[in-house]
Amino acid sequence: MDNRNLDPKKKGFFGELVLQVRLVIRLMKDDRINPLLKLLPFAGFLYFIVPDLVIGPFDDTAIIFLGSYLFLEFCPPAIVQEHMRILRGEFPPPQERPDVIDAEFKDMDDDR
């Protein structure tokens, strides 16, 4: 059995394509992304419904690719990197993790 196909870092063209689609979907759901910016990939998918303006087999693919590419380019890089780390199964370095304060809660009456 060839173990190269099981390596998550070597996904190939289609693996990277699926990763990019998942990244766009995650960013579309993220509230930190500007809603106007979310119109770019949406407009690309909406183009399927509208009659073709340019005749040819590659026009739909080019419009969707361009909308998704511009969306990823204009999104804040820190948010894009955060989602990419999650999709690739990487965890943020310890200095990026929020501090956790462990404490006990005790409800005290006013009368004591």
Structure tokens at 38: 């979310």
pTM over 0.85: no
User: What is the chain's length?
Assistant: 112
First-to-final CA distance of the chain: 71
| 7: pLDDT strictly greater than 50 | no
CB 24 within 8 A of CB 71: yes
Q: Any residues with CB less than 8 A from the CB of 59 and at least 6 apart, and which?
A: 52, 53
Q: What is the pLDDT of residues 48-100, one digit of tens each?
A: 667 666 566 667 777 788 888 899 999 999 999 989 888 888 766 555 556 66
| 1: pLDDT strictly greater than 60 | no
Burial class (CB in 10 A: 0-12, 13-18, 19+), 90: exposed
